[in-house]
Amino acid sequence: MRSSRSLSCIPQSDYNPRMHYFDWTATTPMSRHAIDVYSETACKYIGNPSSTHPLGQEAKARLDQERAHIAGLLGAKAKDVYFTSGGTESDSIVLSSLLQSPSPGEIITTGIEHSAVLEFRKTLENAGWKFTAIRCPGGYLNLEDLRAALNDKVRMVCLMKVNNVTGTVLDTVGAVKIVREYSRQIGRPIHIHCDAVQALGKIPFNPEQEDLDSAAFSAHKFCGPRGVGILWCRSKAISSLSRGGGQEKGLRAGTENLAGICAMGAALEDITSSIEINYNKVYSYRESLVSAARECGFKIISPVECGTFENPKASPYILNISVRPVPSEVFLRVMSDKGFCLSAGSACSSNSRGKAECVLAAMNTDPMDRMSSIRISIGADNTDDQVQGLCNALRQARQELGLWK
């Protein structure tokens, strides 16, 4: 049995002693272990894994070893693990495969998906596909809405596991059962893809046990390097639009980032070995922040109760609050001046009208709350002092903005 290893990310004092980081949903600092493995691999394995000379074959052997290692951590088979540049590309490979179909059909997803999924709407519709995005009041998918949306033209269902804006955990297991049942009725497979970027290493998740066809993961969400990710895919019906040297069995062309892949494996091992410990620690931090937000009179947009580690209803790593009537941008500047890195929680594009519908709007969140939404995302390397400091900063900001009741 693996021993639990602390994440041991680079101390925040090393990169900015004045700022406390609470934007872990956006990205995470690399762990020391991941950095050490990256450096070691980059120095030791200089060959291209596709080369036939000894140095190339050494790199290939290391790549195969890491694929098996990561597959084991996922509870999957090595043959189903493909390395990509991140969650967005992993989603893109699966979604763009639909464009190769000679007869367009329909894809069902939710209105609360990451933009990596929702931004494909225009592309697919231009190619003749029907794109159905089911609204999710409160951040949860009503399984009966999914059942009602299924029809004999549906080729793919795409659902996230953990919402990156409010932390809601979708019942993908229940959704898969409904889709599989309908698929048997029509006598044709329907591909089920899951964006699990915010789930891996934070809540229990096994793509094979959930009976998915594919799932996307990103290393920089669990203290690995940026620019590296995983597509788990056991369906042979998925093929990439991108062509190249045939790496990753032709599904993702381009020379593999061996150092990044090995560093990702190191980070994934660390976080999975302490997943329940981290969950409980972050859960307690979130409880403190919920209490402070309520004391300030702020509305909790995320589910207040997270459930248990074995049966989570929401991720404790994400807390979305409304600071109405103060706009998100104003509140973020105030908090930044106090030394805290947070983010706006609306997940809407502020630059283009044609973008996917706001995630919070698809949750039926009040428009005023959407304008004042703040996302606080916690990491296992945050400390008690930082959390208490953030609670105090929320109280101070409320008073300074003249909103204290």
pLDDT over threshold 70, residue 187: yes
Superfamily of the domain at 12-30+275-400: Aspartate Aminotransferase, domain 1 (3.90.1150.10)
Interior CA angle at 59 toward 28 and 251, to 5°?
A: 70
Give Cβ neighbours of residue 367 (< 8 Å, ≥ 6 apart).
361
Residue ranges covered by each domain of the chain: 12-30+275-400, 38-271
Residue 385, helix vs strand vs coil: helix
pLDDT tens string 120-166: 999 999 999 999 999 999 999 999 999 999 999 999 999 999 999 99
Of the candidates 211, 106, 203, 117, the one whose C-alpha atom is nearest the C-alpha of residue 161 is 203
pLDDT tens string 86-104: 999 999 999 999 999 989 9
Q: Which amino acid is at 315?
A: S
pLDDT tens string 349-380: 544 323 334 899 999 999 999 999 999 999 99
Is 348 one of the catalytic residues? yes
Are 12-30+275-400 and 38-271 equal in CATH topology? no
Name the active-site residue from 9, 158, 233, 348: 348
Q: Are 110 and 160 in contact (CB under 8 A)?
A: yes
Strand partners, 157: 108, 192
Q: Which CATH number fits domain 38-271: 3.30.465.10, 3.40.50.2000, 3.20.20.70, 3.40.640.10?
A: 3.40.640.10
Q: What is d(CA 200, CA 30) in angstroms, rounded to the nearest whole number?
A: 16
Of the candidates 282, 248, 281, 279, the one whose C-alpha atom is nearest the C-alpha of residue 378 is 282
